[in-house]
Chains A and B, each alone.
Chain A
């Protein structure tokens, strides 16, 4: 057979592929670790490369009912004294903020009391609140919750506009021969290639005049511009492939053209519509620059995270948690459309 490789070739292929795997996987793993890290883990070096579920501290009893908390930064200095406290409230706050351990202060004091019996310091291990950074992200970053809501609404509006207009145009391009078809195709390509910034800034002026500045529909209108053209391109190639006889049969049996379109053509074009709407979704979901130009109060999640990176020099772990929320839907959608991406570029199954 042609494709048979000798052992040396096989080994080098394996090395290259493993290398690729590591180059993709390591940054992702470390990123996940950061987004689940507490404030103390963020300040230590070298950092953990895998997320940890627990925190260990050494607690030594002191006079006047006080306790000293030690933490091991893994920097070779062993246990380092962090803080000496007796107050339940303050202990609780310290554990929440520094270790993401949300145990009531009274409980901590009760646990630490065990050191009094021997008078010797002891190691205590607590479970971290796994989603602490996520709740913190929504708590300390202004607009985070409304940003998430806005992002969802803008994405849905973008899908709606680009699908309705785009599939109409796609159908016309696939089924009819008319004057100016070639020019229209070129025009749609130019619209699709036109840089977003080039349109965003003058668009701001137009939207202000229309009273749509800083509105979700205004953003969706902008995001739909390239996606209408993209949708018409994707759907037209699918409409060409759909059997025309089926449509004619429906017309013969008395369906009007609207019914035919809705009952016969549309369902068959569903995969193309799904793919197009995923593209529309990712445009709206991922964009930052247009949202930066076209909004003030009604920010999208992507813009909120972008601003959070800029403003919080400490606490980047919260921004990281926010961007995990940002990634998840895009990740799900990419794997749904991966089939169609392949189809569009020529029938590969993945």
Chain B
């Protein structure tokens, strides 16, 4: 009897420890998520409709642009950031004098809040800004260049560059951490057997980095899909529309209009679907990677 009771209580312990988290997520996560989904399928007249709100969203101003821009931004910024991060992490992983100081400085953009990033670039990109001043001092330009009236894809590209400046260091840190698993002996062995630098990069360095790369790529992609604040703060609303930018637009810029709240709900639902799709792809990819690794071990 006594033993049985103990067994039960021991089995129950993890559930007791987890109960507060379950409760929290039930009330503050699951409930709002379901309420949000419900809202998306109820049209402006309060009737259930599968498609009415999506139709309204598709017809709303700048919808197509926001979808295209979000996809372009996510793809380009992740690509660019990984190119630079990989290059820099391979260079910085060597031991040389000043490596630590360089790392320290490279990490500063990581710490800078999005609002501050926006101010840094806004004060730079205005006509009288520091970018034009710098180019003037260097004698590269004679007349001020106007950057702020960029439109369409150019605006997206500009934001990709700003995002790359901000985010590359944090990607680099993850890759450098991943490179610690690379032993000098492995490289030396490869050299002994006549491998060249490119082969070592392809067959040793990149495979070792693969787990850190897959995890962090998806994390970065998820963040990139939710870009809005630099777009709004540097360029203003509707200049470079993104999915989350539309949510903020309907919440912040025109909150009084009847359809605004509905559109904000639908856009945020759409963002969620896109992000979750990316997460599912991530789980698939990482599982496949894990299986492949297990197979090669066996």
A contacts, CB < 8 Å to B: 2-3, 13, 16-17, 20-21, 23-28, 30-31, 33-34, 43-47, 49, 164-166, 168-169, 171-173, 175-176, 178, 184, 186, 189-191, 193-203, 205-206, 221-222, 224-225, 228, 232, 285-286, 288-289, 292-293, 302, 305-306, 309-310, 316, 319-320, 323-324, 326-327, 330-331, 333-335, 338, 341-342, 345-348, 350
Contacts and interface: CB of A to CB of B under 8 A. Distances in A.
16 contacts: A16-B87, A16-B88, A21-B102, A24-B108, A24-B169, A27-B124, A27-B165, A30-B123, A169-B17, A190-B276, A193-B279, A197-B247, A199-B29, A225-B25, A293-B251, A330-B111
A350 B208 CA distance: 20
A199 B128 CA distance: 40
B35 to A, nearest CB: 4
A203 B39 CA distance: 12
B254 interface: no
Given A2-B191, A165-B24, A193-B279, A30 B130 contact: yes
B130 A34 contact: yes
Given A2-B187, A47-B130, A327 B137 contact: no
B212 interface: yes
A24 B166 CA distance: 9
A310 B233 CA distance: 7
Contact of A176 (B13, B128, B191, B276): B13
Interface residues of B, number: 90
A228 B21 contact: yes
Given A191-B29, A348-B177, A306 B229 contact: yes
A228 B24 contact: yes
B130 A201 contact: no
Nearest to B180: A348
Given A316-B122, A327-B111, A49 B133 contact: yes
Most buried by B among A49, A172, A342: A172
Most buried by A among B13, B116, B191: B116
Nearest to B84: A20
A33 B130 CA distance: 9
B36 A202 contact: yes
Interface stretch (B44-52, B267-275, B289-297): B267-275
Contacts of B123: 30-31, 34, 316, 320
A31 B279 CA distance: 36
B240 interface: no
A128 B22 CA distance: 56
Contacts of A225: 25, 28-29
Nearest to B112: A327
